[in-house]
Structure 1
Amino acid sequence: MKIKFGTDGWRAIIADGYTFENVRRVAEGTGRFMQEQGMEKVVIGYDCRFQGQAFSELVAGVLGSMGIQVVLNNATFVSTPMVSYAVHHLKADLGIVITASHNPPTYSGFKLKSRHGGPSIPAEVAAVEDRIPDAPVVQVLTLEELEQKKLLHCKDLESIYIDKVRDSFDLQAIHDSGLKIAYDAMYGAGQRAVRRLFPDAHFLHCEHNPSFHGQAPEPIDRNLQELAATIRNNPGQYDVGLAHDGDADRIGMYDENGNFVDSHHILLLLLEYLYQYKKIKEKVIVTFSVTNKVKQLAEMYGLDVETTKVGFKYIAQRMQETDILVAGEESGGIAVTGYIPERDGIWIALVIFEYMAKSGQSLTQLIQNIYDKVGPFTFDRDDLHISSEKKEMILEHLRSHPVNQFGDRKIAQSEDLDGFKYTLDNGDWVMIRPSGTEPVLRVYAQSESRESVKDLLNTVHDTLHAIES
């Protein structure tokens, strides 16, 4: 079985492709890469998924047997950004996180983190992939054997991260503002850290449940209706709702009325705060699926904007090469200046909380300020679960038979940097792209209202069904 890394690491279904033998193979390929590059130390962590600790200790045993120094968290789960920051803070050469992020609970995965504290760049990931053996060869040492050989170091990665947070934010101003928070961890790895930072928040799904109660831990509106209802059914009791994915590198938010605030709006809020309040004037980087409103606002402020393929690894590579104000993707992965080149759901939430505290305005007011500058908009995404054969057939049709319109809506511009993005003659846009981690075809749409977005998505579905049939 050939093991391939996708948009963000290797993902597979537990007990199917994601087996102890295959994890050993990937660990061995990683070790070979590290040896060839003269790398000596790795930080390994895992999130709340099934058998995360066992898989991480297996990886530690493989790499330790190859003479690599291993740093493990103290026998419990951590978020991906905690591992990423620890790689940077502890001056390690590489980080590994056993996680499938936002994917359904049947999945697990293997993420690689560079010494800069963000995703390994595509060339490094490809190098690891090329070195994965067809069958594992090296022995696996136990943790006791690693300790005897002085190859194992246990650290409290969460406390290292919390100390960094407390040094970087005006937490006193946030607490003094009286900000009332409702938080949904989605049973993910952000639960303890948020409780430590905001013990008075209202907590949902902050228990260790490897099945995620059967729900993919992706912080999008349709998966967060209990959080939305908590805010809507208690008027005036909460100022903001916050949610993170399984490994807490992605973010979703709600305003004080229980309206979802997606990553497009969060990117715009960050841009506004960091430019207007912090007076930072660096480049903005977004992936292909992000709203054009970000470019509109950035250009209004004279800031350069760069667009990458979908996948935070592309952003991380550019962040190692240039200074940025804010960078992010549609799926909730966002990074800001002054930190490691990594998406981090807790960190981004703190920037927004600080913005609310310093401005004295609600999320609704802050978003309205953005709309006053770039105009109102709504975004949504549908995931079409179809066979790989049908998915490829549709994509090949779009490549060979350019679409001129969806229903009676004419296309003004087409782009194919990563998938197919169509800007319509009224400024709305849609995008069609295969998922890099699941057997899914994603359909994105932006328009002025929820009703028009839904209508646009339905029109695109009709077109795709016609192609499929």
Structure 2
Amino acid sequence: MNWREEYQKWSNNKVLDDSLKNQLNNIASDEKELEDSFYRNMEFGTAGMRGVLGAGTNRMNIYTIRKASYGLAQFVAENGEEAKKRGIVIAYDPRHMSREFAFESAAVLGHHGVKSYVFDALRPTPELSFAVRFLNAFGGIVITASHNPPEYNGYKIYGEDGGQMPPNGASAVIDYINAVDDIFSVEVANQDELIKNGLLEVISEKVDRPYLEKLKEVIVNNELVEQHGQDLKIVFTPLHGTGGILGVPALQSVGFTNIVKVEEQFVNDPDFGTVKSPNPENKEAFLLAIEYGKKFDGDILVGTDPDADRLGVAVRNKDGEYEILSGNQIGAIILHYLLKQKKAQNELPANAAVLKSIVTSNLGTEIAKHFGVEMIEVLTGFKFIAEQIKHFEETGTHTFEFGYEESNGYMVKPFTRDKDAIQAVLAISEVALVRKTEGRTLLEDLEKIYAEFGYYKEDLVSLTLSGKDGSERIKEITSGFREQLPTSMGGFRIERAEDYLRSETTWIKTGKTEVIHLPTADVIKCYLEDGSWFCLRPSGTEPKIKFYFSILGENEEESMQKLEKIKADLMQYIEA
């Protein structure tokens, strides 16, 4: 069936949801918009699906949500009656249609005899991860599009360990989803009947309290935080999302009581009205927090994205201006503090390990090496970090100490199995407090780390290429680069290229190859002779291709100059 036929099928459907019917009428004369809405089915990847809200098979709406939930219901049923009884936990963020999608999912699951636990209101994604483990559920769903613009929403599935569902389970769910021929045929149960029959349970404090209790374990120096926590002034913004619900109580519970809330951004707003994008990686998202910081003399500004799995941080520099730390810098600061403290207290086991993604800075690797800790790299996506933790527990080969990604995702303690901005808020606040008692800032702390372990400079360039044409262009870029690998970049020789789609490392000079023992992914990473690298990776959740850079120099100035040269050269190479 081509996209026009699919569009007619939706347009002629007499029971089509009224709001979707109106949306179809509004775009009826826009050929390109219609094609993009119907040219394919909403892609359900290994982490779930994410896309623009609206009518069509390639949009987020109650029908694509029902279809995805049907696939999950079949997978649960395949695992037997016990799995159905254990059920699925469902959480959601403040986006348009999030609550509706959560209860639609429960209605589909319930129709197939699968119990669901749905939070009564917005909750952070990491709390969902915790809830799956705490309630001994078979899995979980989070309705969120993380830090994407307001026109997006998404659907992520979790396994019984609380991590995003690993590839094997996700593939089985995808097969069930793809087997649905008629998207309008998926049946739903009545919500009141499900509650009456015990197949739908609405939850709140039942999970909130134990999660908050576990968060206290993140703090290393409890005595210091209890006695002096009020000396650190924290400006907090949840960027209109879920972070404020438990972030502030978590800070207060351990002793950080001097909190200034960015009031306008504590309002749950699906349009994120005070920011262009609710992404705490970007300075623009911190503009209001910076105003508060200057007004109230904040020591540290912290911001969580709408589903509170990512953390952004800003601190004052020598000029008195607030500077945004990168995800790599936050990770390095927390990692260095944790390992140094544990080493000093003789609490660092011989088999200690840290986990990071392949696009995260090597600065963390050098820090881990210094403390005798193994750094293990995984593919991008926190599910791969969760998978490794599960492997550690099953085999006893390593003890987990910290996991992080350059995209501002951190996990200190594995009672969650996804990146957890609430944990990270506690961890970075503790480091900031310790440094304040020493008369230093986090930026001065970072400078000491660079001086000891090397001046690493990172950057990320994203090309947004939307729609069908954009998707094809992204494939052209990666396949073209793969077939014609450069031998140098920015005047520096490339030593080797890692191709994660072909699972192969190639040494450029000799042509020698070596197998990469990781799952396949459309990623190409090129190393220079000094260990600096750059990487190409299409996003799995957005219409983007991302170019990552991690450059090492003798000092900050050299690193920056080298970074600019390599970045400019790569972008010219891609354009050509």
Change (3 A) 1:73 1:225: closer
Counterpart of 1:260, as a letter, is I
Change (3 A) 1:117 1:434: same
> 1:134-159, CA deviations, whole angstroms, 9 ceiling, x for partnerless residues?
33545312321111212222211444
Which one is further off, 445-454 or 136-145?
445-454
1:167 deviation in Å? Answer: 6.0
Change (3 A) 1:142 1:223: farther
Once residues 188 and 146 of structure 1 are traced to their aligned partners in structure 2, the CA distance between those partners, rounded to angstroms, is 29
Change (3 A) 1:202 1:172: farther
Q: Which residue of 2 aligns with 1:142?
A: 190
Q: Report the aligned-residue RMSD.
A: 2.4
**Which of these residues, 55, 60, 68, is aligned with residue 114 of structure 2?**
68
Matched, 1:89 2:172: no
The answer to whether the 8 A contact 1:25-1:134 is kept is no
1:247 deviation in Å? Answer: 0.7
The answer to whether the 8 A contact 1:241-1:256 is kept is no
Matched, 1:462 2:572: yes
Counterpart of 1:433, as a letter, is R
Once residues 300 and 451 of structure 1 are traced to their aligned partners in structure 2, the CA distance between those partners, rounded to angstroms, is 25
Change (3 A) 1:272 1:407: closer
Q: Which residue of 2 aligns with 1:182?
A: 235
Equivalenced residue count is 464
Q: Which residue of 2 aligns with 1:36?
A: 78
The answer to whether the 8 A contact 2:67-2:186 is kept is no
Once residues 456 and 7 of structure 1 are traced to their aligned partners in structure 2, the CA distance between those partners, rounded to angstroms, is 32
The answer to whether the 8 A contact 1:186-1:245 is kept is yes
**Which of these residues, 265, 278, 281, is aligned with residue 220 of structure 1?**
281
1:410 deviation in Å? Answer: 2.8
Once residues 280 and 115 of structure 1 are traced to their aligned partners in structure 2, the CA distance between those partners, rounded to angstroms, is 29
The answer to whether the 8 A contact 2:158-2:165 is kept is yes
Q: What secondary structure does 2:402 align onto?
A: strand
Matched, 1:165 2:248: no
1:342 deviation in Å? Answer: 1.8
1:239 deviation in Å? Answer: 1.6
The answer to whether the 8 A contact 2:116-2:201 is kept is yes
Q: What secondary structure does 2:391 align onto?
A: coil
Q: Which residue of 2 aligns with 1:267?
A: 331
Change (3 A) 1:171 1:57: farther
**Which of these residues, 397, 400, 405, is aligned with residue 329 of structure 1?**
405
> 1:421-443, CA deviations, whole angstroms, 9 ceiling, x for partnerless residues?
22334543222211111111111
Change (3 A) 1:134 1:163: farther
The answer to whether the 8 A contact 2:125-2:142 is kept is yes
Once residues 67 and 123 of structure 2 are traced to their aligned partners in structure 1, the CA distance between those partners, rounded to angstroms, is 24
Matched, 1:384 2:460: no
The answer to whether the 8 A contact 2:93-2:242 is kept is yes
The answer to whether the 8 A contact 1:49-1:210 is kept is yes
Unpaired runs of at least 5, structure 1 = none
Once residues 414 and 181 of structure 1 are traced to their aligned partners in structure 2, the CA distance between those partners, rounded to angstroms, is 43
The answer to whether the 8 A contact 1:283-1:324 is kept is yes
Once residues 284 and 172 of structure 2 are traced to their aligned partners in structure 1, the CA distance between those partners, rounded to angstroms, is 36
Matched, 1:5 2:51: no
**Which of these residues, 438, 449, 456, is aligned with residue 542 of structure 2?**
438
Once residues 280 and 267 of structure 1 are traced to their aligned partners in structure 2, the CA distance between those partners, rounded to angstroms, is 18
Matched, 1:345 2:395: no
User: Identity of aligned pairs, percent?
Assistant: 28
> 1:317-341, CA deviations, whole angstroms, 9 ceiling, x for partnerless residues?
1111113111121112222245332
Which one is further off, 324-333 or 357-366?
357-366
Change (3 A) 1:245 1:383: same
Once residues 88 and 438 of structure 1 are traced to their aligned partners in structure 2, the CA distance between those partners, rounded to angstroms, is 29
- Higher helix fraction (1 or 2): 2
Once residues 306 and 490 of structure 2 are traced to their aligned partners in structure 1, the CA distance between those partners, rounded to angstroms, is 38
The answer to whether the 8 A contact 1:227-1:241 is kept is no
The answer to whether the 8 A contact 2:300-2:432 is kept is no
Counterpart of 2:271, as a letter, is S
The answer to whether the 8 A contact 2:329-2:446 is kept is yes
The answer to whether the 8 A contact 2:233-2:299 is kept is yes
The answer to whether the 8 A contact 1:191-1:207 is kept is no
Change (3 A) 1:404 1:73: same
Once residues 180 and 329 of structure 1 are traced to their aligned partners in structure 2, the CA distance between those partners, rounded to angstroms, is 27
Counterpart of 2:149, as a letter, is P
Counterpart of 2:548, as a letter, is Y
1:182 deviation in Å? Answer: 1.6
The answer to whether the 8 A contact 1:8-1:312 is kept is no
Q: Which residue of 1 aligns with 2:348?
A: 280
Q: Which residue of 2 aligns with 1:230?
A: 291
Q: Which residue of 1 aligns with 2:524?
A: 420
The answer to whether the 8 A contact 1:78-1:158 is kept is no
Once residues 541 and 46 of structure 2 are traced to their aligned partners in structure 1, the CA distance between those partners, rounded to angstroms, is 6
Once residues 67 and 114 of structure 1 are traced to their aligned partners in structure 2, the CA distance between those partners, rounded to angstroms, is 18
Larger radius of gyration: 2
The answer to whether the 8 A contact 1:183-1:227 is kept is no
Q: What TM-score do you get using the length of structure 1 for normalisation? A: 0.92
> 1:246-273, CA deviations, whole angstroms, 9 ceiling, x for partnerless residues?
2111112122332222221222223222
1:237 deviation in Å? Answer: 1.4
The answer to whether the 8 A contact 1:182-1:201 is kept is yes
Q: What secondary structure does 1:394 align onto?
A: helix
Q: Which residue of 1 aligns with 2:91?
A: 45
1:23 deviation in Å? Answer: 0.5
1:203 deviation in Å? Answer: 2.8
Matched, 1:303 2:373: yes
1:161 deviation in Å? Answer: 2.6
Q: Which residue of 2 aligns with 1:114?
A: 159
The answer to whether the 8 A contact 2:244-2:266 is kept is yes
The answer to whether the 8 A contact 1:81-1:343 is kept is yes
Once residues 460 and 50 of structure 1 are traced to their aligned partners in structure 2, the CA distance between those partners, rounded to angstroms, is 38
The answer to whether the 8 A contact 2:237-2:289 is kept is no
